[in-house]
Amino acid sequence: MKTLLTEEQLGEGIRRLAAEIKKHYEGRPLTIIGVMIGSIVLLADLIRLLDMPMRVDLVKARSYREGSTRPGPLVINVDMLSESIQGRDVLLVDDIFDTGRTLWELIPQIDDLGPMSVRSAVLLWKEGRREVAMKPDFAAFKIPNEFVVGYGLDYRDQYRNLPYVALLEPHEIGE
């Protein structure tokens, strides 16, 4: 395992991300929706840096088959939202923009619920992997096309609790 982003670098990146988001919304109330499970660590750190009126909610999306680093079928559940988002500014928060398929499929489902606007913020962006006609609105770090873990991101349910982001080496990925 090789460290890609240290705790200190993550802290700086998330402060930059929070500043951009604050500037964009100029104090308007926001509904922040975390995409479970990978975004929970970012979500916890990010919301504490945003001193503005907000609601926090969660949806669940799963695109990775257990025990594989290759994407499987995408399952999204927006029914678990606990509050109406009608007329609200919505910010979707996810751990990583990889192919982009999760946000690409999630955004229309959120749009159907009648928000005023929908934007997306991610911690990591693997720019070269994009397969859809959209980009994240806010991204803290661009990273190379390699499988990463930590700070919410797992491999076979492990490593989510690492306080930093690391690359797994080929011998650590048993495909």
State yes or no: residue 147 binds ligand 5GP (CB under 6 A). Answer: yes
* CB-nearer residue toward Mg ion: 38 or 136: 38
Contact 106, 124 (CB under 8 A): no
Distance between CA atoms of 19 and 65, rounded to whole angstroms? 35
Binding window for ligand 5GP (CB under 6 A); candidates: 43-51, 84-92, 95-103, 111-119: 95-103
Number of residue whose CB is nearest Mg ion: 38
The alpha carbons of the chain give a radius of gyration, in whole angstroms, of 16
45 among known catalytic residues: no
Complex with Mg ion: residue 52 or 132, whichever CB lies closer: 132
If the CB atoms of residues 147 and 164 are measured against ligand 5GP, the closer one turns out to be 147
Q: From residue 19 to residue 58, what is the string marking binding to ligand 5GP with x (rule CB under 6 A)? A: -------------------x--------------------
Q: Which of 17, 88, 91, 94 binds ligand 5GP (CB under 6 A)?
A: 94
Nearest to 33 by CA among 71, 69, 85, 72: 85
* Minimum gap (Å) between residue 102 Cβ and ligand 5GP: 3
Q: CB of 151 within 8 A of CB of 123?
A: yes
Indicate if the alpha-carbon torsion angle 2, 103, 76, 48 is positive or negative.
Answer: positive
Segment holding 123, helix H or strand E? strand 117-125
Question: Binder to ligand 5GP among 25, 138, 141, 155 (CB under 6 A)?
Answer: 155
Give the pairing of strands 30-36 and 165-167: unpaired
Of 98, 112, 137, 154, which is the active-site residue? 98
What is the residue whose two structure tokens read 């693997």?
126
**Would you please indicate which residues are annotated as catalytic (active-site) residues?**
98
